[in-house]
Amino acid sequence: MKKDDAEKREDFINYKSQIADNGFSVISNIFSEEEIETIGQMIGQIDTSKETFRKSEDLFAIRQFLKEIPEIKDLIFNDNIKKLIKEVFGEQYFVVKSIYFDKPEKSNWYVAYHQDLTISVDNKTVLPNFGPWTTKQNQFAVQPPLDMLENIYTIRIHLDDTDEQNGALKVIPGSHAKGIYRPETIDWNTETEHICNVDKGGVMIMKPLILHGSNRTTNGKKRRVIHIEFSDRELPEEIQWSEKERVE
């Protein structure tokens, strides 16, 4: 049974509240089986030899994903995603970063608890309150002021069923509201861990400051995720977002 507009609005309010309180929300059935299949086929046809691609036994990743496969945008930004962006983030939010991750069936890729503390920009320069800087595969990244990080939302689109046995994200609820939170200072007497199981075609929305990580794959099943970050902030004129793009 389809939901009416009032029920959908209530859902959006609940998602926004969950993200504000806990730093994340998991939402099912954003993409159909057919949409996920088509997205996977399109990714499987691309040339993987470029500098923005990272390929190993444990991980395959595409940086600047939406730039590398521009024809995939119409599939990614379906009506459900557009509504989420508008109602949960805000009408002024735009894409600032995109990555595709493929954690293969036998992956030993383990990610320790961390916060996402950098943004991707087009060049490196000296700016007050911006730093430190890093460069990966010709991509400049910098830690911006805290309020800019607090304003970002991330959507993680799941192309496979994901649970704790194939690298689902584990998070510490509420940690996004505690500023810069060093993993080595986690007090497990007061903090709790939550595993974010997401069904194929579902999404996880998270704040980049939430402490998160993932375990190695143990069930022989792959985990493919499209990671897209959104902001509504403009940067100082000396730098630009490396992937700024509005969702029409």
Reply yes or no on whether the pLDDT at 57 is more than 60.
Answer: no
Q: What is the mean pLDDT of the segment spanning 83-88?
A: 96
- Domain extent listing, the chain: 8-231
Reduced to 3 states (helix: H, G, I; strand: E, B; else coil), residue 120 is: strand
| pTM, rounded to two decimals | 0.93
Classify residue 98 by its DSSP letter.
Answer: E
CATH class of 8-231: mainly beta
Q: What would the pLDDT profile of 96-151 be if each residue is shown by its tens digit?
A: 999 998 876 665 668 899 999 999 999 999 999 999 999 977 789 999 999 999 99
Q: Pseudo-torsion of CA 113, 28, 206, 98, nearest 10°?
A: 90
Cα 91 from chain centroid? 19
